[in-house]
Amino acid sequence: MSKGTTARKVIQLKEELEAKSRELERLKGELSAVKRELKDTFGVQSLQEAHKKLDKLRRDIGKRESKLEEALQEISKELDLAGLSS
C-alpha cells in the first residue's frame, strides 16, 4: 500500500469517525429532550419509570373497567326487576 493510499484511508476513517461523533451528539440531544419531556409531562426520570407508570395506569384502567361493568350489570338487573328494561 502506498503512502498516498494510506493517507487517504486515514483521512477517510477520520471523516467517518467525525460523522459518527456528530451523530452520537445528536442522539444524546434527542435523548435529553425525551427525558425532559417525560419529566415535565409525566413526572418520571427515565424510560424505565415511564414503563412502570404506564403498567400501573393500565392496571388501574382495567380495574375501573371491571367496576363499571359490574355496576352496569347491577343497574340492568335492577331495571329488569322493576320492569323498566327496554
Together in a domain, 9 and 37: yes
What's the domain range around 76? 45-86
Q: ∠23-26-31 over CA atoms, to 5°? A: 125
**Measured between alpha carbons, how far is 13 from 17 in angstroms, rounded to an integer?**
6
Are 36 and 70 contained in the same domain?
Answer: no
What number is the average pLDDT over the span 42-55? 92
Q: Are residues 54 and 78 in the same domain?
A: yes
Predicted confidence (pLDDT) per residue in 2-20, tens digit: 778 999 999 999 999 999 9
* Same structural domain, 58 and 81: yes
Q: Do 20 and 58 share a domain, yes or no? A: no
Query: Number of folded domains in the chain?
Result: 2
Residue 86 has pLDDT above 70, yes or no: no
What pLDDT, in 10s, does the model give residues 24-41?
999 999 999 999 999 999
- Tell me, yes or no, whether 7 and 23 share the same domain: yes
One-letter amino acid identity for 78? E
